[in-house]
Amino acid sequence: MKALIRKRPGLSFAIFIVLWTWVLMTVIIAIVPVDPIAGPQFVHVALVFFVASPSVFGFIFTRFVDGKAGVRELLSRAVRWRVNPIWYLVSLFFIPAIIGVSVLVRGLFGADLSQLDILGQLAFALPIALLAGVMEEFGWRGFMLPKLLRKHNALSSAILLGVVWALWHAPINYMGLSKYGWDAVPILLVLALLPIVQTIPMVWIHNSAKHSMLMMVLTHVSITGGFIIFALPNANAAAEMRGDLLTVGTLALASISVILVFGAKRLTRSRLTGEHQEAT
């Protein structure tokens, strides 16, 4: 088992974190069922982030696979703040701007944008978004992405990581959509595409900003915060599906643009690429 993990660290991490989360959430939901009206309770969300945290297991796997030197390198990436200032702007505003555009498009199709409460949601969004970024990113972009980049080009790595991220997120998505019953199934399938079209621009930022985990956490914070502050109440499953399709479609167009401009091989014009990272 030890030899397999060291030989296939990315795959081993993916299998472990997905299976662990699915088993854990199945047990939790069986003990504390999700209210179809109120949605998931604090216990559901807290246990996901603190007991099935990709970041926690990212550090554990890093210590096992790469030793103390790997942990030191991962921590150094967490405070790697000396990057081109443009990447701070991209990390904080690129994907939220796309989410905002998708909401405007929903307005063109009849959604009531007067229900938006961006400033009112901001204070609520920030702590949740920060928690999500810190408790996830050191697993996804901290541990798993560098391992994938050693064997695959940047686009393939982004897609593979996006699939794993989607599988990990599926129980969380289910809790939020359980009120729709079986009508939630097609929505869950659409939402499974969301981590993939998010990961492509995230890998672009990662590879362009010196593999800085600070940039990755900020990007994750902006994504989660963006979805919260631009959230519109959905009257039914059909409205939910329309909104999610528009969001995924808009992000897919942005991802395609990144691929066309920066190339699938590296997703960056920087000379620093994943396969040349040290101590990972």
Is the per-residue pLDDT at 140 higher than 50? yes
Residue 135 contacts residue 56 (beta carbons within 8 Å): yes
Q: Is the dihedral of CA 34, 40, 46, 49 positive or negative?
A: positive
Return the percentage of the chain with pLDDT > 90, whole number: 76
What is this structure's pTM? 0.93
Lowest-pLDDT range, 41-55, 69-83, 111-125, 127-141?
Answer: 41-55
Residue 25's pLDDT band, with cuts at 50, 70 and 90, is: confident
Closest of 161, 172, 209 to residue 218, by C-alpha: 209
pLDDT recorded at residue 272: 58
Return the half-sphere exposure (C-beta side, CA atoms, 13 A cut-off) of residue 102: 24
Q: Which residues contact 83 (CB under 8 A, 6 or more apart)?
A: 209, 210, 212, 215
Rounded Cα distance, 3 and 182, in Å: 42
Return the percentage of the chain with pLDDT > 70, whole number: 96
pLDDT recorded at residue 147: 98
- Mean pLDDT confidence for 235-254: 94
- Using a 10 angstrom Cβ sphere, with 0-12 exposed, 13-18 middle and 19 or more buried, the burial of residue 79 is exposed
pLDDT recorded at residue 238: 92
DSSP 3-30: HHHHHSHHHHHHHHHHHHHHHHHHHHHH
Is the per-residue pLDDT at 278 higher than 70? no
Residue 279's pLDDT band, with cuts at 50, 70 and 90, is: very low
Question: What does the longest C-alpha to C-alpha distance in the chain come to?
Answer: 57
- Mean pLDDT confidence for 144-172: 97
pLDDT recorded at residue 106: 93
Is the per-residue pLDDT at 67 higher than 80? yes
pLDDT recorded at residue 163: 99
pLDDT recorded at residue 41: 75
Rounded Cα distance, 192 and 188, in Å: 6
Angle at CA 161, nearest 5°, toward 155 and 167?
Answer: 140
pLDDT recorded at residue 269: 82
- The whole domain housing 68 covers 2-276
Structure confidence by residue, pLDDT tens digits, 186-214:
999 999 999 999 999 999 999 999 999 99
Q: How many domains, in total, are found in the chain?
A: 1
Residue 276's pLDDT band, with cuts at 50, 70 and 90, is: very low
Structure confidence by residue, pLDDT tens digits, 99-137:
999 999 999 988 899 999 999 999 999 999 999 999 999
112: which DSSP letter?
-
pLDDT recorded at residue 275: 43
